[in-house]
Amino acid sequence: MIKISAGLLLLALATATPEIKYFQYERAIPKSSGQSCLVIEPGIFAHAAPQIADLRLYRDGAETPYVIRKDAPAENTEKIIPLLNVGSRGGQTVFDASLPEGHYSDLQLAVTGQNFIATVTVSGSQTETGSAETKVGAYTIFDLTSQKLGRSTVLHLPESDFRYLHFSIKGPLTPESFTGLSVERLPASQPKYETIAETTRVKQDGKSSVLEFIVPAYVPVDRIAFTPGAQPALFSRDVSITVEPVDKSPAVDRSPSRLTTVSAGDILRVHSIRNGQRLDEERLTVEAPWVDYSTQTKWTISIDNENDAPLQMKSVQLQMLERNLCFEADGNGSYELFYGDAALEAPSYDYAKLFALQANASRITAGPEQANPAYQPRPDSRPFTEKHPALLWIAMAAVIALLGAIALRSARPVTRTPV
């Protein structure tokens, strides 16, 4: 009985159709023509259904097809690319590498050893041998862990598509110090981020600088961005992130999976001249951990200062990758965005299946959120047993009592009359 009722409820939700009167919120869309992409602000996530499944776009009261685009970050290829022709030439370590097809930028060298500064000169070609090489640039890698200034073996190349790269390293590293490299693949366009929350309020807790944020339910967080003051010019600090549900009521799942603690690497800034070599490296963002966003959460960001003076932070931001709602706009139409109907599932449009982003697509921003004046709650379409679960238990208790009475009656001994 319970399973059947649950199935009927799911069927009712799955077959819900969008109607303007059932949306709680609306936003006006500015006029545009041709392919247009609307930036989905964090506030929309906070009031929409999970995964913004209930977003609906209307033109003069008629539903309009759209597609949701999410900006993609640069992709780190975890697979280590082996090195070719490793050896020494003219007192320098040399090797080659075969890169995957496509465009790439940053390269991460896998380097063993500590306390070094070395210069890496990179050139590229489309074939391993026999073709002219193009100089890409010269880069400094370092390990200053003994000075508590961190380590960087990343080469910030300009966007490149050479199939082969050739490396020459000057410094206190041997061919055995290099075990491979990984590549950061570039997306079709540089990713954009939206700020979810920002603070300049820093608390000192022992040797740690602590910042706190409250994030509404369903709002995704993709990274944390730090903006320190100009001084100190040199620092390397570990960062940890704790995320926990704000709602402490028993109804909220308090299992360990809902309390996430992640040590998320470090932030680093090195601008210095060491051994006659210029070192310039900044790493001021940290990837956010994946958490369950179905409830409001508290984010605690801790910066470990050890015995150094606390960093003076201009701001720390929680950011999400930009999402866009793209559609074909009629310059003469009046468009509105509606959301806030949890009964709806994500729509499926032919437009989304055939979508191709155009270089001249208009980038637009919706007006402020407003309550839908026509809003009314959806009728309760649940089965009678779902609306009144107590009656089900009463009926079950009555049936059990009846069966018990029948069992007792059947168990009484039968008196036989002597013949």
The per-residue DSSP string of 34-92 comes to EEEEEE--HHHHHHS-GGGTT-EEEETTEEE--EEEE--PPEE--SPBPPEEEEEETTE
Q: What is the mean pLDDT of residues 374-400?
A: 72
Q: What is the mean pLDDT of residues 26-52?
A: 94
pLDDT digits (tens, 9 = 90+) for 297-331: 999 999 999 999 999 999 999 999 999 999 999 98
Kindly give the pairing relationship between strand 362-365 and strand 34-39.
Answer: parallel
pLDDT at 372: 97
Query: What does the pLDDT read at residue 116?
Result: 93
For the chain, the average pLDDT equals 85
pLDDT of residue 301: 95
Ordered domains of the chain (ranges, CATH): 17-71+324-371 (no CATH), 75-185 (2.60.120.260), 193-321 (2.60.120)
Looking up tokens 């049936």 gives 399
**Nearest residue to 341 via CA among 80, 55, 99:** 55
Residue 414: predicted pLDDT:
52
Range with lowest mean pLDDT among 103-107, 212-216, 222-226, 338-342: 103-107
Provide the pLDDT confidence category of residue 150 given band limits of 50, 70 and 90: confident
Tally of CB atoms within 10 A around 281: 20
- Look at the pTM and tell me if it is higher than 0.75: no
User: In which band, very low, low, confident or very high, does the pLDDT at 8 lie, cut at 50, 70 and 90?
Assistant: very low
- Those residues with Cβ within 8 angstroms of residue 219's Cβ, 6 or more apart along the chain or in another chain: 42, 45, 46, 196, 293, 320
Distance CA(225)–CA(267), nearest Å, equals 10
CA distances in angstroms from 157 to 99, 269, 305, listed in the order given: 13, 19, 31
More confident residue, 142 or 131: 142
Residue 273: pLDDT band with limits 50, 70, 90: confident
pLDDT of amino acid 1? 42
User: In angstroms, rounded to a whole number, what is the distance separating the alpha carbons of residues 189 and 306?
Assistant: 39
Q: With a cut of 80, say whether residue 276 has pLDDT above it.
A: no
- Report the range out of 11-15, 259-263, 333-337 with the highest average pLDDT: 333-337
